[in-house]
Amino acid sequence: MGIKIDALKCTNCMACEMACGYHRDDGFAFLSACIVPYRAREKKDYFGVLLKEEDSLVVARPEGTEINRIGEEADPDKEADASAKPMLLREACDLCEDMKYGPMCVKICPVDAISVEE
């Protein structure tokens, strides 16, 4: 079971990041979220979602999802997202196992861009 992200449906609203941060910190915060819309290419209108899992970093881009195994050497020809660095230090997605709503990012996404994949 895992989180599936449709980056083309995403409207970059950051609700998933907030809901995940709430799960981690019991307050309203973005600091510890393991799911983060990337929005550093603002002038290019290029955005998607990053998800830190136990063994991988999922990069849901508009053109398709890329799964990078953590620990493997990155492609030197590819420029890494600056936001990927703090992501790797965060706790991995636990599917909000202690939350009554299940994965909070799925519950909060207003445009249903995030779902649970069995």
Partner 1 sequence: MEYLSNDKILVVDLAKGDVEEEELSEELVAERIGGAGVNAHLYGKYADDDPIVLGVGLLTGSMYPASAASVLTAKSPVTGKLCHCPVTLKVGIEIKYAGFDYIVIKGRSDKPVYLWIHDGVADIADAADVWGKDVWETTDAWRKGVGDDLLQTMVIGPAGEKGLDCAQVCCNYWTGPDRFGIGKLFGQRNLKGMAFRGMGLLEAAEPEDFVDEAFELLEAVKDNDFMSKKGLGPICAALGETDAEEWLSPVVHRHSADYFTPYATNTFAFIDEDPATVTETAKPEPGVLISDIPALLAFKKLGLSALDAAKAMQACARQGVDPLAAATASGKAGKTAIDEILAQVAATTEPAAMEGNGVFSPWCPRKPIFGDFGASDTDAWWERRQAVAAIFGIQPVFAVMCPQLTEESMISLSNIGGELELDPETLDAVIGDIAG
CB 26 to partner 1: min, Å: 6
Of 4, 13, 56, 92, the one binding partner 1 (CB under 8 A) is 13
Residues that contact partner 1, how many (by CB under 8 A): 35
Q: Select the span of 55-63, 67-75, 88-96 touching partner 1 (CB under 8 A).
A: 55-63
- Is 98 a binding residue for partner 1 by CB under 8 A? The answer is no
Residue type, 54: E
12 binds partner 1 (CB under 8 A): yes
**Residues contacting residue 30 through CB under 8 Å, at least 6 positions apart:** 14, 17, 18, 21, 36
Which residue lies nearer to partner 1 by CB, 25 or 71? 25
Q: How far is CA 33 from CA 12, 42, 63, 76, 89, in A?
A: 15, 21, 24, 27, 11
Provide CB contacts within 8 A for 80, sequence distance 6+: 74
Distance (Å, whole) CA 23 – CA 96? 7
Residues that bind partner 1 (CB under 8 A): 8, 11-15, 18-19, 22, 25-31, 39-47, 61-63, 82-83, 101, 107-108, 110-111
